[in-house]
Amino acid sequence: MTKVGTLSSLFFSPPTGRQASKELHLDGNGIINDKHYDKDRDRSVLLTSLDSYLLVKSHGIETEYGVLGENLLMDYNPYRLPVGSRLKIGAVILEISQPCTLCKSLSNIDSRVPKLLKKDRGVFAKVIEAGTIAEGDEIYLID
C-alpha cells in the first residue's frame, strides 16, 4: 500500500437534505443513512478531489465544499485511476467503479461548471470492505 493523501471533508444525503459529517459508516450497499444507500452498488460513493474546486476557483467561481455532490473530498486526485483500483481509507476499502457523469444541477452553481469539470468532477466507487471513515483519515492506494 502507498499513502496518497488525506480525507478533507465528508458529506452524505439523508432524506432531510445534504449534510457534512465528521465520520461515515459504510457497508456493501454504500453509505448508511444516505438517500442513495442500496440503490446502485457501483455508484455508492462519490470521490472528489480538491483539484476540482481549485479548477473552478481558477475561473473566478467561488463554491463551498460539498456542492459538487461528493461524499468524500480528498487532497488526492483519483480521476485517472483505472476501474478496479482500490483505496483503503480508515477501515474501509473502496474500488473505483466508474467515472462520474455530469448532471444538470452543476449549472446551478455557474453555467461554466459542467464544461470545466467534464472529466474532473470525480469518480464513483463501491464498498469492498465495510467500516467507518473519518475526516482526516489517510488514503492508501492498494498496490
Q: What is the pLDDT of residues 17-59, one digit of tens each?
A: 899 999 999 999 999 999 999 999 999 999 999 999 999 999 9
- How large is the greatest C-alpha to C-alpha distance in the chain, in angstroms? 40
> Domain for residue 95, yes or no?
yes
C-alpha 127/C-alpha 104 separation (Å) is 26
> Domain for residue 73, yes or no?
yes
β-bridge partners, 142: 86
Q: How far is CA 4 from the centre of its chain?
A: 15
**Three-state secondary structure call for residue 52:** helix
Pick from 143, 133, 141: which is nearest to 8 by CA?
Answer: 133
Confidence (pTM):
0.94
> Domain for residue 17, yes or no?
no
Number of H helices, E strands in the chain: 2, 11
pLDDT tens for 68-119 read 999 999 999 999 999 999 999 999 999 999 999 877 789 999 999 999 998 8
> Domain for residue 30, yes or no?
yes
* Residues of the domain holding 41: 2-12+22-142
Is residue 125 a contact partner of residue 87, using CB atoms and an 8 Å limit? Answer: yes
CATH of the domain at 45: 2.40.33.20
> Domain for residue 56, yes or no?
yes
What's the number of domains the chain is made of?
A: 1
On the 0-12 / 13-18 / 19+ scale of CB atoms within 10 A, 71 is: buried
Q: What is the CB neighbour count within 10 angstroms for residue 3?
A: 11
> Domain for residue 46, yes or no?
yes
> Domain for residue 94, yes or no?
yes
